[in-house]
Structure 1
Amino acid sequence: MVNNRSVPANIVLPHIYYDNVETSLNWLTATFGFREYYRFEQPDGQLHGALLHLDSAWVMLKNSNPSQISPAKLGYSTQTLMIFVEDIDLHYERTKLAGANIVEALNETEYGERHYVVQDIEGHHWMFSKHVRDVSPDEWGAVIASSSM
C-alpha cells in the first residue's frame, strides 16, 4: 500500500448506531464485503451489537438509543467513515452492483486518494479509499501545523 502524508491511516474503532442492527449488519456484509467477527445480545435476546471488519478496518455496530441516534431518525448524516481498501475499483463496482446509493462517484483527488462515497440503508456515509500517490499537504494548499508525522 502507498503511504500518503496527506491522508494517514491510523487505527480507530468507530461505534456506529443503527435502528436495526441485524438488517444493517446483513446489508454491510453483502454490499461492502465486511465480515462479522462477533455479535452480542441484550438480555431479551435482541441483537445489541456486532463487531465487523473489512481487511484491517474494524467497525462496531450498536443499537441506537435516545442519546445515540441513527441518521434514519435525524434525517441527515453527521459524519463520514473513511475505510481503506486495496482494490478500490473492484470495491466500487461491487457496491454499485449491490444497488447502493453512491453519493460521490469514484475519483482521484489532488491529495493523492482514489475514493468514492456511499450512503448506507440508514443514512450513514461511508468513504472507501486507496492511497494512489504520496502527496505532501502543502503541495495542494494545506498549511502544515507541525512536523509530527
Structure 2
Amino acid sequence: MDTNEKQTQQKTREPSVWPTLCATDAPALIDFLVDTIGFTRTAVYEDDGVVAHAQLDWPEGGGIMLGSHRPGHDWTLPPGSAGLYVVTSQVDALYERVKAADVKIFRDIQDQPYGSREFSLEDPEGNKWSFGTYPGEPAA
C-alpha cells in the first residue's frame, strides 16, 4: 500500500475513539454543543433530565458521548475535566459564530507553527475545547 492509499484509508475509516464527558447539566451542555458549536444530536437517552447516554456527531467526522454526572455510578468523570481537539475546515466561520454567541474564548484564533489555524474555548461545564485545521499526521 503506497502513502496515498494509506492517507485515503485513514481519512475514510469510521471513528473508533469516542471521548466521553459527564456534565452537571447534561441537557444544557448538549444544547450548547449542538446549537452553538455545531455538533449533531444523534442519540439522547434521558429520563427526567438525567442523561444516561448521548451521542453527538461532528459534521466533519467523529463525535463525542456524554451523560449526566452521577456520583457513585461506576462510569463517571468530574464535570469540566476534559480537554478536546476537534478538526474543522471551517475554523474561521466557527470562531466568528462562537465569538458572536459570547462564548468564553481563552485563546483567540491564530496560526500555529505546526500548520494549524485554531482557537480554544471553554464550555459551560468548564471543559476546554480547541478547534483547528490540523488533522493529525498520517499513520505510518
What are the Cα deviations for residues 104-147 of structure 1, in whole angstroms up to 9, with x where unaligned? 00011111111100000010001001039x9x8xxxxxxxxxxx
Amino acid aligned to 1:69: P
Amino acid aligned to 1:46: V
The alpha carbon displacement at 1:31 in A equals: 1.2
5+ residue gaps, structure 2, are 1-9
The alpha carbon displacement at 1:53 in A equals: 1.2
Greater relative contact order, per chain length (Cα 8 Å cut-off, separation 6+): 1
Identity of aligned residues (%): 25
What are the Cα deviations for residues 20-54 of structure 1, in whole angstroms up to 9, with x where unaligned? 11111111111101110011135x67332210112
Other-structure match for 2:106: 103
* Pairing of 1:1-149 with structure 2 (within 5 A): 11=15, 12-42=17-47, 46-55=50-59, 56-66=61-71, 67-71=76-80, 77=81, 79-131=82-134, 149=140
5+ residue gaps, structure 1, are 1-7, 72-76, 137-147
Aligned residues: 123
The alpha carbon displacement at 1:13 in A equals: 0.5
Q: Could you state the TM-score of these two structures normalised by the residue count of structure 1?
A: 0.72
CA RMSD of aligned residues (A): 2.6
What are the Cα deviations for residues 76-101 of structure 1, in whole angstroms up to 9, with x where unaligned? x4x42000111110011111111100
- Tell me if structure 2 keeps the 8 A contact 1:57–1:84: no
